[in-house]
Chain A
């Protein structure tokens, strides 16, 4: 199979298969969560609590000052690579074009040189995150195969994208094919690793905020 054939497969059937697995997997995961349900809380809430879950969905995005102080490295690298991933994913011109071709939606892109800089920062942040995970006793204790797999499938699309843009090491067509394949690997692995947090954290935060608000606490 030539690089071009690989690229064509990745753009065509490969993408279809990856998206299908991703959608099936995430639907299954959400079904597994919500189908468990929860018991109605019979204790009278301290005050009416509409919207409290939603408030925590947003408020939990910013850490408490004590958390900055105690978990600084985790917080900073976490912010950098998450924001970086969003910028690269959503504001690089070729990505916007792809989204446009699939959904018809479109928005202005950021200058490629800026996205390039963001990519470098994100790659560095992810490397720091990996080293931190390997060195820190707490993170190391909590980590298993799934954690390193999730890291790898997040790192690879960024790395291959960066290499393709700069024509590094390999032939451009092959790099582009590898880039798309790595993104597809991310989609396939996504529903079956902690990457599900991208969606489920909104559910978790909502429950947390709702449970606390019934007691009169903004969590």
Chain B
């Protein structure tokens, strides 16, 4: 894909819609979105004000989609967006935005700023101004099947390991299973115990499930970089595999943006509704809990808290479920300040963690999470996103903090009522 300014601007024209026009028409430049953004609060640098990150998109809207803007452009009173403008905005659009959605909750006139950053990225990537790290991850997904270059043999090795660990068989390519589970590369490489946890939970609950050898990777860097054509291809692989196996449900792993890609963007990317349902693993676990199929025993006594992954909670609507599940396995659960849909991002979502040039800024932004944790004084933090988990662990290490990060699905699996007929 050869990138150019013209392609970038065309991509912006393509995404322009009534919501975007209503948002820009309504902005009163009050700056309250800055106070909602951890990249601003932790740096104090005004350029990280969320609405300011949208300047190139706003200018295209104003100059081409309003009468007054068109007139002033004709009279030479405003300059069209140049390639240099887009290049200069790359840091603001990619490094200092995790698509966390907090600004969209705060804006008094109701602007969904995150919605627009996602759209602006379409133009930025088409113009060739996406960061190298995210481009690399995207290339690997297209060529190798996963952003971290994880191929089937690597998964098979982890399957064997987890089968030995749990004494259960992990089904793959089972035709007609109820659920097809997906993983993120992070889980395959760093947290294979997630797979073991699934096997144990589904065994106990009697869930008919399978993995697919053709589509096991759920992450989608196409939506992070802002390349709908690539995002469509990645989602398409999953849809094809699920249709081939004729499953009724596809399970999104804990990974936050994978859920957004699959659940909310996917049908729009491929241009049709799915013949199956997408559920997030936490939704499924909570469903099993309420129907009595998931039985746990004992509770963690140590005080612990929950880090809400933005794409699962604020942008995904899975708010109640993690708390209900924690209630089953923890006796001293404590909410952080600004919990649930108001939580602060780990600082590495939306492709930021794959973007090397953003590392320093990301660690600075982590001070927000650090102060939340310092205030709470808890030494265990549960979360439900493999990317958050890595980013949190890096931040905790960087600031020498004594906090352990635990995946919620694994925590639930640790408290399963063990059954006799396990082997």
Does chain A have a CB within 8 A of B36? yes
Selected contact of B21 from candidates A32, A67, A141, CB within 8 Å: A32
**Cβ A208 vs Cβ B112 within 8 A:** yes
Chain B residue numbers with a CB within 8 Å of A139 are 29-31
307-332 of chain B: CB within 8 A of chain A:
314-319
141-196 of chain A: CB within 8 A of chain B:
141-143, 147, 192, 194, 196
Selected contact of B31 from candidates A32, A142, A215, A217, CB within 8 Å: A142
**Cβ B317 vs Cβ A46 within 8 A:** yes
**Cβ B67 vs Cβ A32 within 8 A:** yes
> Contacts A36-B18, A36-B21, A46-B317: A194 and B46 contacting too (C-beta < 8 A)?
no
Interface size class of chain B, counting residues whose CB lies under 8 Å from the partner chain: 35 or more
**Cβ B46 vs Cβ A32 within 8 A:** no
**Cβ A71 vs Cβ B28 within 8 A:** no
Does chain B have a CB within 8 A of A100? no
**Cβ A194 vs Cβ B115 within 8 A:** no
**Cβ B30 vs Cβ A78 within 8 A:** yes
The chain A residue sitting closest to B34, CB to CB, is: A138
**Cβ B110 vs Cβ A215 within 8 A:** no
> Contacts A41-B268, A141-B52: A197 and B109 contacting too (C-beta < 8 A)?
yes
Chain A contributes a number of interface residues (CB within 8 A of B) equal to 59
A215 to B259 CA separation, bound complex (whole angstroms): 11
**Cβ B106 vs Cβ A32 within 8 A:** no
Does chain A have a CB within 8 A of B143? no
- Between A29, A42, A139, A147, the greatest number of chain B beta carbons within 10 A of the residue's beta carbon is seen for A42
Selected contact of B110 from candidates A29, A38, A143, A204, CB within 8 Å: A204
A142 to B111 CA separation, bound complex (whole angstroms): 15
A208 to B109 CA separation, bound complex (whole angstroms): 10
Does chain A have a CB within 8 A of B271? yes
A57 to B22 CA separation, bound complex (whole angstroms): 13
Does chain A have a CB within 8 A of B341? yes
Chain A residue numbers with a CB within 8 Å of B315 are 215, 217
- Between A63, A70, A207, the greatest number of chain B beta carbons within 10 A of the residue's beta carbon is seen for A207
Chain B residue numbers with a CB within 8 Å of A217 are 314-317, 319, 341
**Cβ B110 vs Cβ A42 within 8 A:** no
Chain B residue numbers with a CB within 8 Å of A133 are 29
23-66 of chain B: CB within 8 A of chain A:
23, 25-32, 34-36, 40-41, 46-47, 49, 51-52, 65-66
Q: Chain A nearest CB: distance from B322 CB in Å?
A: 14
- Between A64, A133, A143, A201, the greatest number of chain B beta carbons within 10 A of the residue's beta carbon is seen for A201
**Cβ B19 vs Cβ A207 within 8 A:** yes
**Cβ B18 vs Cβ A34 within 8 A:** yes
Does chain B have a CB within 8 A of A37? yes
**Cβ B26 vs Cβ A211 within 8 A:** no
Q: Chain A nearest CB: distance from B385 CB in Å?
A: 16
Selected contact of B28 from candidates A138, A141, A194, CB within 8 Å: A194
**Cβ A66 vs Cβ B22 within 8 A:** no
Chain B residue numbers with a CB within 8 Å of A134 are none
Chain B residue numbers with a CB within 8 Å of A194 are 26-29
24-81 of chain A: CB within 8 A of chain B:
28-29, 32-39, 41-44, 46, 56-57, 60-61, 63-64, 66-67, 70-71, 74-75, 78
A residues adjacent to B (C-beta < 8 A): 28-29, 32-39, 41-44, 46, 56-57, 60-61, 63-64, 66-67, 70-71, 74-75, 78, 133, 136-143, 147, 192, 194, 196-197, 200-201, 203-209, 211-212, 214-219
B residues adjacent to A (C-beta < 8 A): 16-23, 25-32, 34-36, 40-41, 46-47, 49, 51-52, 65-68, 104-112, 115, 263-268, 271-274, 277, 314-319, 338, 341-342
